[in-house]
Amino acid sequence: MIDPVAFAIGPIVIRWYALAYLAGIFLGVGYGMLLLRRKSLWVNGTPPMTPDELFDFTFWIVIGIIVGGRLGYVLFYDPLVFAANPGQIIALWDGGMSFHGGMLGLMVAMIVYLNRKKANIFSGLDLLACCATIGLFLGRVANFINAELYGSVTTMPWGVIFPGGGDLPRHPSQLYEGLLEGVLLFLVIRYFTHVKLVLRRPGIAAGIFGIGYALSRIFVEFFRLPDSHIGYLAFGWLTMGMVLSLPILIAGIALIIWARTRRHA
């Protein structure tokens, strides 16, 4: 396996996980700036913000992801432990981030920002949908490097023996998620934004992201081991990740229906 520590300078340790977060944010912002410059892609030729405004918004992206991701993990995955030890909530260095919480935090930051600008909020959510897959891919690769969130035992030739996962090869479920939620979903959304021009109907790209992410996550959860302190919620296969993905799936479907039936100037 790859060393989770990318490099160290004296007592300062830089991990691949942190670099993946930073790279995902800045590459996503860079891609978003390219999309915003293509005004012809957007409804009425009006993007939800300018490229410079998106660059300035990067700080709020970082805050939204970190605060939302951490609070999501605290509330969804281990509320009793953190209620007994509230000081551990800020101990980000010990790990524990929720994608669902990070996504909600990022959406709240975008909605508040665009509402103040009186810009199209649904176009802003479409922008996030186009860019988020980059961070998802890099984040899952970092999970693989950290040897965390691995899957069940497998006899498939691509099985991996993870440190702490025993002597038997296991599904590299982190890479499954990275390929589905990151690479494949990016290509699907790219096709719809640049060929079908769905950014001219605000909400559709965000809906596609919601459906694609939820279906990918639910599928991979059948191979991925649940958090040890939670386990399976029911039936020997239902996980917290599946439960949290269902509202995203429903919201994605609802967004597409709403966007397709709403008339735009």
The per-type count for the chain, helices as H runs and strands as E runs, is 9, 2
Task: Output b/e per residue, 176-198; b: 16+ Cβ within 10 A.
Answer: bbbebbbeebbeebeebbeeeeb
User: Pick from 135, 222, 141: which is nearest to 186 by CA?
Assistant: 135
38 among annotated binding-site residues: no
Tokens at 140, concatenated: 């899952």
Helix (H, G, I), strand (E, B) or coil at 231: coil
Tokens at 104, concatenated: 């909600």
> Residue holding tokens 């690479």?
183
Count Cβ atoms below 10 Å from residue 253 Cβ, excluding itself: 14
Residues annotated within a binding site? 140
